[in-house]
Amino acid sequence: MSEATEAEHLLDLLFLTNWNTRVVVLGVVMLGAAGGVVGTFMLLRRRVLIGDAVSHATLPGIAIAFLVATGLGYEGRSMPVLLLGALGAGLLGIAVIQLLNQGRRVSHDAALGVVLSTFFGTGVALLGIAQQHASASVAGLESFIYGKTASMLQADAILIGAVSLGTGVVCLLFFKEFRLVCFDPGFARGRGLSVLKLDLLLMSLVVSVVIVGLQAVGVVLVIAILVIPAASARFWTDSTGRMVLIAGGLGALGGWIGAMASAIAPRLPSGALVVLALGGLFLLSLSFGGRHGLLHQAIQTGRRTRRIRREHALRAILECLEVTTEEECTVEAVAERRGWETRQAQAAVRALDREGLAVVEHPGRETTVRLSESGRREAEAVVRRHRLWEHYLIRHARFDSGHVDRGADELEHLLPMDILEQLEAELSAEGSASGLPSSPHRLEDRPGGEAPIA
Amino acid sequence: MREVDGPKEPVETGPPPFSEHSADSPLSIHAMTVAYDRRPVLWDVDLDIPPGSLVGIVGPNGAGKSTLVKAAIDLVPTLSGRVRIFGKPFQSRRRMVGYVPQRESVDWEFPVTVLDVACMGLYDRIGWCRRVNRAAKERGMEALERVGLADFADRQIARLSGGQQQRTFLARALVQDAHLYLMDEPFAAVDAATEESIVELLRELRSTGRTAVVVHHDLQTVRRYFDHVLLLNTRVVAFGPTEEVFTPEHLQATYSGKLTLLEEASEALSKHGSSP
């Protein structure tokens, strides 16, 4: 293939000029969306792995449907026949899991494992038998294991589309009930909702999505479209509704990327490509998710660390000034008060300087620092909080006054405003009218200083 | 059969008089036995909660306190016995009962807001397949205001303190505007402010004629919080007005063999003796 035709081929794909590609891509996109939506509820119900057991359990059904159909003289690879077999075996799998789990005979996860592996093993063995008997026509069946979009027909895509649409509609209608059952099934039952019926409804959605997804994604990997988009969506939001939408969107996107890749590389199993795309989206969500992503958390932690260091520096300066009754103090004194290295103290006061809270003089040796007007206000607020908290700990938590400084040091930065007000009201006796409450311990003899907070 | 026309028709066999159920009792339990795996948790419990009372259920761990509350509203199966809520089975009195489960019974990482949870108490009124409408949200907000959580309405529930989470559950029960409230350890691991606000809420409920049955673990506060007390240890040891029933003898019978708890109990009583 020359470069020009290859580029053309890619463009064809991208704009879905080929009718069959268009059908396949659309089908997988809808499948991904439906998997994301229904997977979110299963994930929140903590039952998502049952999807894996169902999908593995379908394989013997597919093989038996093929064997029986060929035995009776029909075309064994007819999709409706195979999917019907898959459905039967999948439902049988669920029933066996329920039976094993009843009365806690076998724990739920063990039941899942037993059914998943036994059914799948049976399926693989049956496929082997089918291969021996009808080696020519059985080739298509293997694509069920890892998925093969290339073998999808228009009718298959329409089936996927219909099931996905139906799943979406049901989830929209029962959104509120599904959410309640996932969050608090006991309360739902108390309010007269039939938890069993809702669970069955949810389960039948899972089974439908898994069955129609078998061809495109394969028995082994179809669980990915249930779990991965839902798990990824949690990094982006704290609302169930948005989580469902985002999971649907991510599932659709992963399906689109996977189906396109599969059209470009038709020999690779399409299930693997879809899963790789979803996995990539998961990594992106884990890293950059706006609510619980790693980057977001790192930024939050960094911000808090900087704030704590700033408050420590402000308080150290103000207390130095209180003790010496001078207008400025040396950075060494600040460092000593905090138990910091001089270098750390230098960095902290320079940061205050940049904010306009302090003025650093004589940079280099003998650096001194003095508070600006706004810096003093800020520092007084910090010291006030610290001392109120110290008094509170002594009075209510019975801390020893020698140890109270350390305890207050660690907790004060996390105090919300309302608690602060409460403390102030309770301890108003401690504060003087002019502003700062007095320190409950002598400021001069601080024991050791705290562990430095970098 | 018996379920339907029990009170009118005398039945020859089985536990006698259903007339024992008083029709205006918010919660009336007769001859109830519950067992988990053949181990009886509740044994032949008889109980008639008077209307408009605040009832504390106390007893040692494993005494069946939570089970009693759950069995009353069909959350756990009973081996025998009957429950009547204002004279009718729970199924037809569902809306009159507000249930507050233990805080640990759910996953607080769940992606819902405080207001979402409060509105869950209205789902049966909103009806199937309908969205939580504005009127429901307004009622949810009212309930949140009553428990002091209005400012937290849009917050994800993991970002609440334990006491605030407990109050979220209370708000979810309050929106139901029920007549009988069943609360499972609402005071467990909450801060002092929350404890006070729950107590205030209970009194407010009582002053409007509601009844509350509360599983409680702190013997020291029983006298202050509840006008009736149920001492439970698989069987009913005693039930009645707190003044009459909350006695050293009954406590001893309830907590027999549990030394530390017994000490706690006597401490509670001596404290009460010195300061009312």
pLDDT in tens, B178-197: 999 999 999 988 888 889 88
Size of interface A-B (CB pairs under 8 A): 67
What would the mean pLDDT of A313-327 be, rounded to a whole number? Answer: 86
Q: Which residue of A has its CA nearest to B73?
A: A190
Distance from CA of B233 to the nearest CA of A (A): 24
Which residues in chain A touch residue B125, judged by CB atoms under 8 angstroms apart?
none
pLDDT at A421 over 90: no
Interface of A with B (CB under 8 A): 44, 173-174, 176-177, 179-180, 182-184, 186-187, 189-193, 234, 237-240, 243
Which residues in chain B touch residue A180, judged by CB atoms under 8 angstroms apart?
120, 123
Other residues' Cβ atoms within 10 Å of the Cβ of residue A421 = 10
* Number of helices and strands in chain B (H, E): 11, 9
Alpha helices, DSSP H, located in chain B: 2-5, 65-72, 114-119, 123-126, 134-146, 162-174, 192-207, 222-225, 242-245, 248-254, 259-274
Q: Which residue of B has its CA nearest to A244?
A: B111
DSSP-derived secondary structure for B19-38: GGS-TT-SEEEEEEEEEETT
Which range (A14-23, A129-138, B80-89) has the least confidence? Answer: A129-138
Report pLDDT for B276.
38
Pairing of strands B39-49, B27-36: antiparallel
Q: Do B123 and A183 touch (CB under 8 A)?
A: no
Closest in A173, A186, A240 to B101, CB measured: A186
Report pLDDT for B262.
53
Distance from CA of B261 to the nearest CA of A (A): 24
Which range (A214-218, A292-296, B136-140, B261-265) has the least confidence? Answer: B261-265
CA A31/CA A36 separation, integer angstroms: 9
Pairing of strands B54-58, B228-233: parallel
Q: Do A186 and B75 touch (CB under 8 A)?
A: yes
Q: Which residue of A has its CA nearest to B159?
A: A238
Report pLDDT for B265.
60
Which residues in chain B touch residue A230, judged by CB atoms under 8 angstroms apart?
none
Distance from CA of A184 to the nearest CA of B (A): 6
pLDDT at A343 over 80: yes
Which of A370, A362, A11, A418 minimizes the C-alpha distance to B164? A418
What would the mean pLDDT of A294-321 be, rounded to a whole number? Answer: 91
CATH code linked to domain B2-274: 3.40.50.300
Report pLDDT for A415.
65
Is the separation of the CB atoms in A317 and A349 below 8 Å? yes
Q: Report the amino acid identity of residue A394.
A: I
Kindly list the structural domains of chain A, giving each domain's residue range(s) and its CATH number in brackets, ordered by start: 19-292 (1.10.3470.10), 299-426 (1.10.10.10)
Which residues in chain B touch residue A44, judged by CB atoms under 8 angstroms apart?
110-111
Which of A197, A141, A152 minimizes the C-alpha distance to A174? A197
Q: Do A240 and B97 touch (CB under 8 A)?
A: no
Q: Which residue of B has its CA nearest to A237?
A: B111
pLDDT at B258 over 60: no
Report pLDDT for A299.
94
Query: Counting every residue, how long is chain B?
Result: 276
- Please, which pLDDT band fits residue B141 given cuts at 50, 70 and 90? very high
- Please, which pLDDT band fits residue B28 given cuts at 50, 70 and 90? very high
Q: Do B117 and A44 touch (CB under 8 A)?
A: no
The overall average pLDDT reported for chain A is: 85
pLDDT at B149 over 80: yes
DSSP state of A431: B
pLDDT at A256 over 80: yes
The overall average pLDDT reported for chain B is: 86
Which of B110, B166, B126 minimizes the C-alpha distance to A239? B110
CA A335/CA A316 separation, integer angstroms: 8
Which of B19, B26, B174, B165 minimizes the C-alpha distance to B86? B26
Question: Side by side, which strands form the sheet with A368-371?
Answer: A329-330, A368-371, A358-361
pLDDT at B3 over 60: no
Distance from CA of B106 to the nearest CA of A (A): 6
Is the separation of the CB atoms in A271 and A216 below 8 Å? yes
CA B45/CA A378 separation, integer angstroms: 63
Which of A366, A315, A65, A89 minimizes the C-alpha distance to A207? A89
How large is the ipTM?
0.84
Closest in A44, A176, A234 to B123, CB measured: A176
Q: Do B131 and A177 touch (CB under 8 A)?
A: no
B167 vs A325, more confident: B167
Domain residue limits, chain B: 2-274
